A and B are shown apart, each in its own frame.
Chain A
Amino acid sequence: MSKVIISTKDMQKTFANNGKQIHVLSNVNMDIYEGDFTVIMGSSGSGKSTLLYALSGMDKATAGEVNYYRDSDNAVDITKLKERKMTDIRIRDFGFVFQQMHLVSNLSLLENVAVSGYLDKNANAKEVRAKANKLLDRMGLKDVKGNLPSRVSGGEQQRCSIARAVINSPKVLFADEPTGALNRKNTTEVLDLLTELNDQGQSIVMVTHDIKAAYRGNRLLYLDDGKIVGELKLLKYNELDEKGERVLSDKAREAQVNAWLESLDW
């Protein structure tokens, strides 16, 4: 069994709307394991993005705990962290990929990645720059890394945002529908990239409603009406058999996921 890296306890998220309370997340109890590619699915409005933001500390839960195991013994409840500490976790421990990419508009792709690296006080500026270059090259952005975000395609922007998210080698990479705004070709490129990162040991938590994206994960959670109502465990996407071939083909994975979703009335 892998080590738990994030766990929630009776986590709730409530919004106020015209004087009415809307409970988006209700007493969510869940664990995220180190090295897993966890996928959160659910119907539209089920609260999956809200759950991701609460887990990543981008937004605070209304009640309950979100414990992050920074090291094996000590957990920090990120719902209770002060701004400075949370900022520190964002810089070093958590990386985030948005559906709409959200790159700083007046920085080039390279600068968008490097600036995140610069935020780590211990990092050496030259090393950060070299790493940013390497990451972007690896993601096929060698020729466009000096461009502003507005001058590259959506797929390129998303790959850049992944590079930005991993520049500080985070413990967990969160991705909120990273392929939601991309075409098929770009979707595959981005998913391949995330899979590759996971193969290298990167823990990933991804929200998606796309089955093709979902079966890249090895642990799928289904959220309905603010609660985790289902879980599916799969082999790792690139788990190989003795012959050196993938144990589960895309088709087989898709079939398993479809069957699971059907059982949940998706």
Chain B
Amino acid sequence: MHGFANPKRFLALAKWLTPLLLVSGIVLSAIGLAWGVLNVPPDRLMGDTVRILFIHVPAAWLGMGGWTAIAISSLVFLVWKHPLASLAARAAALPGAVFTAVCLATGSIWGRPTWGTWWVWDGRLTSMLVLLFLYFGYMALAQAVAREGGSSRIPAIFGLVGAINIPIINRSVVWWNSLHQPPSITMGKSAIDPVFLWPLLIAVVGFSLLFGGIVLARMRALLADIQADARLRRKALGNEIA
């Protein structure tokens, strides 16, 4: 694992893994979503709005997964000082924020015909909105540190502290009364009928592969910018001395 912390080895791996993850993610997501929209029957209670869940659930999973990736990468950076771990945390922030926003938007659109309202300030929805603001804060902080040359430990600590929100989101429907239904899938058990479960699982796997490809592409972009800046700075310094 430590071997991949070397930027050269990482780039050699990421070069073929990025398009592979992106293409397989797009194909599987398209299969899962098309199956969910066109091929499943309407739900007994939700009717046709059940089809929204095939995009809402994977987006929610990756909104939370993105911050979990930030927290793990931040911990690795703080403990082992791997610069690539700090880069991985920064790279996961933008896709995590986009998937969280998609989760909130699609959930709100689903809520209007199902609950009769676009929004309620209950535990699940509010903690998910807090997650979106945490992403915005993390991105602003990481960008400011990269631009002004501050310590990368600051966004890493923010990433770890913000992870407190993940179990709160997960348990919110159990701890507080909520319009949102309790968890339908738990460890080894599912309350979802297989006719809905299979396209949902395919969409979740597809979105996860897509997320991995996006994070790798962001890491490559951030690394290339750092390397270009360092090279140009060295050149400018060399010219000044000469």
Same complex for A and B? Answer: no
Q: Tell me the B residues contacting A by CB distance below 8 Å.
A: none
Q: Tell me the A residues contacting B by CB distance below 8 Å.
A: none
